[in-house]
Amino acid sequence: MEPKVLAILGQNEGGKTTLAENLCKLCGETLKSSKKESTTYLKVYGLKYRNVSVYLLDTPGDENFIGEVIWAVNAADIGILVIDASSPLKYQVIRTFEIAQEYELPLAIFINKLDHEKANLSQTLAELKNNLEVSQIPVVYFWGMENSSPILVDMIKELRVVEEGNKLKFVELSENLKSQIKFLRENLVEVSAEGKDELIEKYLEEGSLTEEEILEGLRESLIKGKVIPLFMGSAENNWGLISFFNQIIELSPSYKRKLKKENITSTSIGFIFKNYIDPYAGKLSYGRIYAGKLTSDSVVYTADGHEEKYTQIFIPKGDSLQQVKEVSEGEIIVFAKVEALKTGTTFSNSYIKEAFRVPEMPFPMLTLALHPETRADEDKISAAISKLKEEDPSLVFKRDEETRELLISGIGKIHIDKTLEKLREKYGVKVRVSIPKIPYRETIRKSVQGVIYRHKKQSGGRGQFAEVHFNIFPLERGKGFEFLETLTGMNVPRNFVPAVEKGVREAMEKGILANYPVVDVKVQFYDGKSHEVDSSDLAFKIAAFHCFKKGLEQADPILLEPYSELEIWVPDENVGDVIGDLNARRGRVISIDKEKKYTKIRALAPMAEVQDYVITLHGFTAGRGRFVSRFSHYEEVPPFIAEKIIAEAKASSETEEK
């Protein structure tokens, strides 16, 4: 049978890692890790079951690390939603379900923790039915306890499952239990029959299907996204794990679906879905081969034109790696120290042009400025950032050319906090963070005519002389800068005009209110005076610089602030809170629309008011709200706020001068 890759998905503390690790142990794998902690990155486990290679992609259950979920979804054949029956359904389950639907990944559900004293199966089933818009069909059903052992019913075989380690035994059901599951069994057979036309015909004619036909039809319905098979048990106590594993391998679609879906025809091709920087082994690139095979001591080619030699290749084994000579299609391969293999790279054993689609990473909702604590930290930070980006492409780092700040953008506060922790502990770089500076602008509200400035300097030898006459006008918001030369006569030689424009542009770099750049102005250079000996480009540039500054003082200068356009998705019940909060942030709601189970709010708000918006939004919505934002435009800052900004800028400037 083909290799299988299962993405283990769901909420925090639902038992995803316990499920993955105990499946490994049941299949004879020895695990080196015993530390239990919340997963913050994609972990890969490898095992063999019935001589089938199976890989488990254990994903984080927190919205802050949803990027890792997206990569796993794009590498897997099927997703397993692990549901905690002892607690209410969390938003992350719904969010993961939506991502799986977006990328057309078939899903199954494992209802976990049925051994817990707070487990409530009927409530869990009701919540799943209300929140996941796909029919859920029990395949292995938990029917209570008997003599301290779970009663697990294989609905396809219509037999009770008895698990002994990684072996299965099947026992006849009592007549009473058969009658109780009759309706569920009939529903399963009907859904399976709907998977294929020939199965519908047989079912209508004979009223039944064989076990093989039920599996075949269920697999087809699963691939089409029409059904989610349900399995039940306890990952911690190994209830239902092997019966689940046994069926899910049969139901899991072929990896070749990805080739067909993306119209890939290459005879050798794979996709890198995770990079991990190991302190000892260096960069490890996890990829899946979809066609062909790769051997050790060879060359790997990428779709973007790179080629690189490599020596060793590995496959995941348990929670470790096993060095091998060859990896075939369908398997997960791990390359060591191959720089060309970025996350999202399409690779091959020969030259290729085709490439798999690279999934879009979630919008980073929080941005902070990074400040290395020491000169040594400053020297190390660039290399560390490069490695962080290798491991987590959902992080965004950039240098703001205007404020000269190094910015980090992440999905939320926990995402950034964990990144800074890794920066410190893994790469030895200590930083402090701050809210980024806002790129304010300055402009004018009225025109001024006949602004004159004469620059004259005489200190022995050749002097400096230049006089410029300007008219200065405000421009429509967003128009930037316009320089107009309308000289007549020969008072100013035309070869000095470029120096005049340069002087104005330099003066615009810092306004007179708070040293922010000046925008949306038009300068008309209509006259001036020159000296045949003492005039020069430098003299005219200096004159233009001071003439523009002089004109600004007379043109009613004002401060502008950037506005962001927000698209916010929230549960219906939180719309009022979100709109009220936006109003308090000087925001304006543009539209409110219904999108499936969410309400989408479009709004405009000052950038300064929404820098920490994700924290408030998650507070209102219990982590269920999300947003994207983009720069929209500049608007005048209200006077009472402008006064504070100007005072702070002057105080900062005085501190720097000292």
pLDDT single digits (tens) 214-243: 999 999 999 999 999 999 999 999 999 999
Mean pLDDT of the 240-254 span: 95
pLDDT at 268: 97
Which amino acid belongs to residue 221? S
User: Which residues have CB under 8 Å from 302's CB, separation 6+?
Assistant: 340, 341, 345, 346, 347, 348, 352
Whether 520 shows a pLDDT value over 80: the answer reads yes
Given pLDDT bands bounded at 50, 70 and 90, which one contains residue 336? very high
Measured CA to CA, the distance from residue 312 to residue 324 in angstroms comes to 8
Examine domains 366-434 and 442-555 and report if their fold is the same: no
pLDDT at 403: 87
Whether 470 shows a pLDDT value over 80: the answer reads yes
pTM over 0.85: yes
Give me the helix-helix angle, 413-425 and 375-391, nearest 10°: 120
Q: Does domain 4-180+215-258 have CATH number 3.40.50.300?
A: yes
* Burial degree of 461 (CB within 10 A; 0-12, 13-18, 19+): exposed
Question: Parallel, antiparallel, or unpaired for β 78-84 and 107-112?
Answer: parallel
Rg (CA), the chain: 33
Given pLDDT bands bounded at 50, 70 and 90, which one contains residue 148? confident
User: Which residues have CB under 8 Å from 357's CB, separation 6+?
Assistant: 262
Given pLDDT bands bounded at 50, 70 and 90, which one contains residue 279? confident
User: Looking at per-residue confidence, does 59 or 164 come out higher?
Assistant: 59
- CATH number belonging to the domain at 366-434, selected among 3.40.50.20, 3.40.50.10860, 3.30.70.870, 3.30.930.10: 3.30.70.870
pLDDT at 606: 98
Show the CA angle centred on residue 318, arms to residues 317 and 324, nearest 5°: 10
Please name the CATH architecture into which domain 442-555 falls: 2-Layer Sandwich (3.30)
Q: In the 3-class helix/strand/coil scheme, how is 159-177 assigned residue by residue?
A: EEEEEECCEEEEECCCHHH
Instruction: Name the nearest CA neighbour of 200 among 221, 184, 223.
Output: 221
Report the share of the chain in percent with pLDDT over 70.
98
Measured CA to CA, the distance from residue 298 to residue 287 in angstroms comes to 16
pLDDT at 37: 67
Question: Parallel, antiparallel, or unpaired for β 366-372 and 307-310?
Answer: unpaired
User: Which residues have CB under 8 Å from 605's CB, separation 6+?
Assistant: 563, 564, 566, 582, 585, 586, 587, 588
pLDDT at 36: 63
Q: How does pLDDT run across 16-43, given as a tens digit for each residue?
A: 999 999 999 999 999 987 566 678 899 9
Q: How does pLDDT run across 193-212, given as a tens digit for each residue?
A: 999 999 999 989 888 899 99
* Burial degree of 221 (CB within 10 A; 0-12, 13-18, 19+): buried
Within 13 A of 377's CA, how many CA atoms are on the CB side? Answer: 15
Domains of the chain, residue spans: 4-180+215-258, 366-434, 442-555, 560-640
Measured CA to CA, the distance from residue 241 to residue 71 in angstroms comes to 25
- For 54-67, letters b (16+ CB in 10 Å) and e give bbbbbbbbbbbbbb
pLDDT at 657: 62
Whether 658 shows a pLDDT value over 60: the answer reads no
Q: Is the dihedral of CA 238, 243, 245, 246 positive or negative?
A: positive
Mean pLDDT of the 158-169 span: 91
Given pLDDT bands bounded at 50, 70 and 90, which one contains residue 653? confident
Segments of 406-530 assigned E as strands:
406-410, 431-434, 441-444, 448-457, 464-474, 481-485, 521-529
Instruction: Give the fold, CATH level 3, of 560-640.
Output: Alpha-Beta Plaits (3.30.70)
